[in-house]
């Protein structure tokens, strides 16, 4: 950190908004690759976590940090299930494109 510059709540919220904007642009720009879509979902959750921690530190309250732990646990489970599904689709279809999932039948 540079001397004399203290990050405020506004800086953290702007960083979180920038992360969310990058996610939305990535979602619009890339709708063909499931792996990229999973990474976009993870970035959205990290953006929410940054908001929770920043506001929690600003208010000197631990509730936001506890909520962040729950979100991280949920994100880890979501990543595990998403990657498992991705591996199954890749083994069957030899591609990780969204179009391959669109043609799956029960």
pLDDT digits (tens, 9 = 90+) for 48-100: 999 999 999 999 999 999 999 999 999 999 999 989 988 988 888 888 877 77
Largest CA distance in the chain: 61
35 pLDDT tier (thresholds 50, 70, 90): confident
Domains and CATH numbers, the chain: 33-101 (1.10.287.3510)
Q: How far is CA 82 from CA 11, 50, 53, in A?
A: 32, 23, 26
What are the structure tokens assigned to 22, written together?
């990058």
Q: Evaluate if pTM is beyond 0.85.
A: no
Contact 27, 37 (CB under 8 A): yes
DSSP characters over 28-90: HH--SBHHHHHHHHHHHHHHHHHHHHHHHHHHT-SHHHHHHHHHHHHHHHHHHHHHHHHHHHH
Q: Is 5 helix (H, G, I), strand (E, B) or coil?
A: coil
Instruction: In whole angstroms, give the CA distance from residue 42 to residue 32.
Output: 17
């Amino acid at each position: 950190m540079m001397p004399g510059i203290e990050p405020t709540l506004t800086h953290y919220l702007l960083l979180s908004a920038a992360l969310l904007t990058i996610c939305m642009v990535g979602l619009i720009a890339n709708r063909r690759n499931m792996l990229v879509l999973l990474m976009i979902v993870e970035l959205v959750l990290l953006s929410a976590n940054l908001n929770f921690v920043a506001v929690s530190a600003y208010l000197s309250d631990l509730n936001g940090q506890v909520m962040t732990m729950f979100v991280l646990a949920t994100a880890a489970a979501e990543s595990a299930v998403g990657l498992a599904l991705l591996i199954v689709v890749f083994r069957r279809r030899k591609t990780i494109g969204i179009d391959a999932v669109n043609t799956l039948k029960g």
